[in-house]
Amino acid sequence: MPREISSERLRDRFDRFNEIGATDRGGVNRPSLSDANRRARDTLVEWFEEAGLTVTVDEVGNIFGRRDGTNDDLAPVLVGSHVDSQYNGGRYDGVIGVLGALEGIETLNDAGVETERPIEVVSWSNEEGVRFQPDMLGSGVFAGKFETAFAYGLEDKEGDTFGEELERIGYKGEAPCEPRDLHSYFELHVEQGPTLADAGLSVGVVEGVYGFIWFDAAFTGSADHAGPTPMHLRHDALVATSDIIEVVRRIAGTEGEDLVGTVGSLDVSPNAINVIPERVDFTVDFRSSDDATVDRAAERVREEIDHAAAREGVAGEYEQIMRIDSQTFDPDCVETVAAAADALDAEYTRLVSGAGHDASYLNGVCPTAMVFAPSVGGVSHTEDEFTEWDDVVTGTNVLFNAVLEQANEAPGADSGSES
């Protein structure tokens, strides 16, 4: 029989937590290392300690809360997500994964249940990447993808650095941030896409994460007066860019079944009604479960940037700023999640995540899997983000039982990292 968490306690904490940085339109505004993010972290640390967890903050601000196992020589099961938000983002994104993990600990405490392995709850630093890029920074440093010094040097738009701001809010910890022995990692998160909600399902058993590529691109032409400059003498950076926006849309429909492509950010200079655009800086994002498809799409856009530049008589440039291979989660961990969903009679499907998560990096450190809760309308990264509470509870129960199962798994019976 599966154990079940307390819906009331989780709801109470969820509501109180989301008073921090609450917006008028029902969302939260807690971007990384903001004052609201500090208050959210303070509240988490307080609740971790109340639950008897031993709190450690590492040098990039990841917060760990450890519950000892009966055999503390065994590698712990790690479970969590993040509590930073988009600017005016939603209440569920990240939050349910951290508070859900904590709720599992409380449930074990209430029942007086001990586990063989330690369980650690984690809140990763700077997952959203809206203030400091790249996103998933804390888990990326933890997984050895970035150096700590690189993280400290990142600047926001005001020129404040990640290191200074981390120190300012009191979360530059002393524990090293580096890969260490973990038995496994589990994360509950909202889907941020429409699959589960459209199908009326409560749970997604996540088998992996799309690979993706990001690049910055730009065209530079001539900023002439929009009146007296004849069409044939123009070198309009925005006209060239519009070709690429169309191409990104078209490639996404032709190069691969699950390929998605987006031009999300675009800045025009000088951006005046009567001046031909001299320069446009824009971004391209491609994702697919198939890495070769992502690479093919990126290569085609690079070619099209050259073609558009030639047609319009402007200079084109592009720089790859991120490339993460698709992730396939550990089959044993994935089956543990599916078994927990089965035991709870939850209606679920298996799917691959289009969004990146801290679990993407953790998958390189230890066996990993994720649980998805539905996003109504597929909406996320806005104040309108919503998940039915019953689905939050079901997802939390699946997470809890999967973690409990793994935390009692004997050494040697898994693909974990104990020597």
Q: Which residues here bind a second copy, judged by CB under 8 A? A: 86-87, 129-130, 133, 135, 191-195, 210, 212, 214, 222-231, 233, 236, 238-239, 241-243, 245-246, 249, 252-253, 258, 260-268, 270-278, 283, 285, 287, 353-356, 378-382
Min dist CB 376 to a second copy, Å, is 12
The token pair that represents 124 in the structure block = 């990763």
Min dist CB 315 to a second copy, Å, is 16
Q: Which of residues 117 and 357 has its CB atom nearest to a second copy in the complex?
A: 357
Select from 120, 128, 142 the least CA-distant residue to 186.
120
**What SS3 state is found at 399?**
helix
The dihedrals phi and psi of 189, each to the nearest 5 degrees, come to: -150, 155
| Residue entry with tokens 């801290």 | 358
DSSP label at residue 16 = H
Q: Which of residues 125 and 360 has its CB atom nearest to a second copy in the complex?
A: 360
Min dist CB 199 to a second copy, Å, is 13
**Which amino acid does the sequence have at 234?**
R
For residue 339, the tally of other CB atoms under 10 A from its CB is: 16
Who contacts 144 (Cβ-Cβ below 8 Å, separation ≥6)? 178, 179, 364, 365
Min dist CB 322 to a second copy, Å, is 9
For residue 134, the tally of other CB atoms under 10 A from its CB is: 18
Q: Which of residues 81 and 86 has its CB atom nearest to a second copy in the complex?
A: 86
For residue 72, the tally of other CB atoms under 10 A from its CB is: 11
Q: Which of residues 84 and 405 has its CB atom nearest to a second copy in the complex?
A: 84
Please state, in angstroms and rounded to a whole number, the distance separating the CA atoms of residues 146 and 361. 11
Min dist CB 243 to a second copy, Å, is 8
Please state, in angstroms and rounded to a whole number, the distance separating the CA atoms of residues 352 and 360. 12
Select from 324, 303, 182 the least CA-distant residue to 251.
303
Select from 160, 159, 33, 51 the least CA-distant residue to 103.
51
Please state, in angstroms and rounded to a whole number, the distance separating the CA atoms of residues 223 and 270. 8
Min dist CB 273 to a second copy, Å, is 4
Q: Which of residues 171 and 286 has its CB atom nearest to a second copy in the complex?
A: 286
Q: Which of residues 84 and 236 has its CB atom nearest to a second copy in the complex?
A: 236
Min dist CB 68 to a second copy, Å, is 37
Min dist CB 258 to a second copy, Å, is 8
**What SS3 state is found at 239?**
helix
Q: Which of residues 262 and 408 has its CB atom nearest to a second copy in the complex?
A: 262
Q: Which of residues 65 and 256 has its CB atom nearest to a second copy in the complex?
A: 256
